[in-house]
Amino acid sequence: MNQKRLETLCGLCGTSGREHAVRDYILSELNRMQLPADAVRTDRLGNILVHKKGASPAKRRVLFSAHMDEVALMVTQIHADGSLGFDMVGGVSAAAVIGRQVCVGKDRIAGVIGSKPVHLLSKDARKKPAEMSSLSCDIGSGSKEETEQYVRVGDIIYFQKNAQDLGSGSFASKAIDDRFGCEVLLELLEQDLPYDTEFSFVVQEEVGLRGAGVAAAAIDPEIAVIFEATTAADLPGSEGADRVCTLGSGAVISFIDGRTVYDKALYDLAVQVSEAQGIAWQTKTKIAGGNDAGAIQNAGSGVRVLAVSVPCRYLHAPVSVIRKADAQACIDLAKALIPALQETEL
């Protein structure tokens, strides 16, 4: 894993519909790889579509895909005292953002997410989870007029850049979902591949899988592999299937989630390849969540789909945690799947 590049990717600000900074960086990386001019294109939604020539023509059109957007918050109101009201872009828990440092708008103004002091809450309110409508963002302004000099309704509130090593083998950052998937694709694209392969870096996954279906319709693959980060709930008090997957147990190969029933033959192949090559793997033990496979599967005449994910604690929070060994397992499996998907009877 190219951790320096992953840190750069995670540090970029790009929520759903505002992915331009991420897209520009990925395009610069693709340009550095000196791919042919006609191998890279950007569609009207902002998806990046890439055709990578391999040593041999593809026997099947296979697509590897990841999404560029991250969860964030959007300014919906400027209060009289200069603070900001907001709502979520993608699935963000109100409890996860209280007290967090953020950056606001195009100028990335520093801010802090605040909540009503506990002594002002009713007894009933103290027992309930916090709601976004009860929170505000403080940028140090004293009036609505002052705030309006810097921020407008519709501006984005991003979590602060915070990539760092954690302990001896973990990595923590915002936006691991799904900048990690983007890093997997970039790792593959800078390799000499055995077969022609299609790639898509897609937009707006966090608000309804909107970019992936458009990309898949344009590429028309027979098979698609989606690279993601998925929820690891391996925390104290969590037992059995509720743990979903665990850090340190390898790449997550899903057989079902809340949106998709994955192709059984592709799932079996990924497991076989992992075991044959000594790649650590696990599966999700709870039917939950979803990813771009749900939209890609339904594109055109239908696409056979597989998902490979890095287990990730605190998904959709201001900072998430992964194990570097799990990340490398996903990359190793991605590389091994390119020939396997072309050479295996499916």
Specify if 228 maps to a domain.
yes
What's residue 131's pLDDT?
A: 84
User: Which residues, other chains included, contact 332 with Cβ-Cβ below 8 Å and sequence gap of 6+?
Assistant: 277, 279
End residue of a domain, out of 134, 159, 184: 159
End residue of a domain, out of 111, 136, 159: 159
Specify if 165 maps to a domain.
no
State whether 264 and 333 are in the same domain. yes
State whether 234 and 307 are in the same domain. yes
State whether 65 and 77 are in the same domain. no
What's residue 34's pLDDT?
A: 93
CATH of the domain at 91: 2.40.30.40
Specify if 220 maps to a domain.
yes
Contact (CB, 8 A) for 254 and 284:
yes
What's residue 289's pLDDT?
A: 87
State whether 102 and 181 are in the same domain. no
Helix (H) or strand (E) holding 309: strand 304-312
Domain tally, the chain? 2
Specify if 311 maps to a domain.
yes
Contact (CB, 8 A) for 6 and 179:
yes
The dihedral built from the CA positions of residue 287, 318, 161 and 245, taken in this order, carries a sign that is: negative
- Domain assignment of residue 79, given as a range: 72-159
State whether 256 and 332 are in the same domain. yes
Neighbours of 137 (CB within 10 A): 24
Alpha-carbon gap, residue 235 to 165, rounded angstroms: 20
State whether 287 and 325 are in the same domain. yes
State whether 32 and 95 are in the same domain. no
Specify if 184 maps to a domain.
yes
State whether 85 and 62 are in the same domain. no
Specify if 167 maps to a domain.
no
> What DSSP designation does 170 have?
E
Which residues are the active-site residues? 205
What's residue 124's pLDDT?
A: 67
End residue of a domain, out of 131, 159, 187: 159
| Local confidence pLDDT in tens for the 346 residues of the chain | 999 999 999 999 999 999 999 999 999 999 999 999 899 999 999 999 999 999 999 999 999 999 999 999 999 999 999 999 999 999 999 989 999 999 999 999 999 999 866 665 666 666 677 788 889 999 999 999 999 999 999 999 999 999 999 999 999 999 999 999 999 999 999 999 999 999 999 999 999 999 999 999 999 999 999 999 999 999 998 888 999 999 999 999 999 999 999 999 999 999 999 999 999 999 999 988 899 999 999 999 999 999 999 999 999 999 999 999 999 999 999 999 999 999 999 9
What's residue 238's pLDDT?
A: 87
CATH of the domain at 31: 3.40.630.10
What's residue 127's pLDDT?
A: 63
State whether 118 and 241 are in the same domain. no
Helix (H) or strand (E) holding 176: helix 176-189
Specify if 168 maps to a domain.
no
CA dihedral 212, 214, 215, 216 (to 10 degrees): 80
State whether 57 and 87 are in the same domain. no
Contact (CB, 8 A) for 88 and 71:
yes
State whether 260 and 243 are in the same domain. yes
Q: Which residues lie across from 201 on neighbouring strands?
A: 48, 66
| ∠ CA 275-279-284, rounded to 5° | 85
State whether 204 and 330 are in the same domain. yes
Specify if 166 maps to a domain.
no
The dihedral built from the CA positions of residue 133, 72, 201 and 308, taken in this order, carries a sign that is: negative
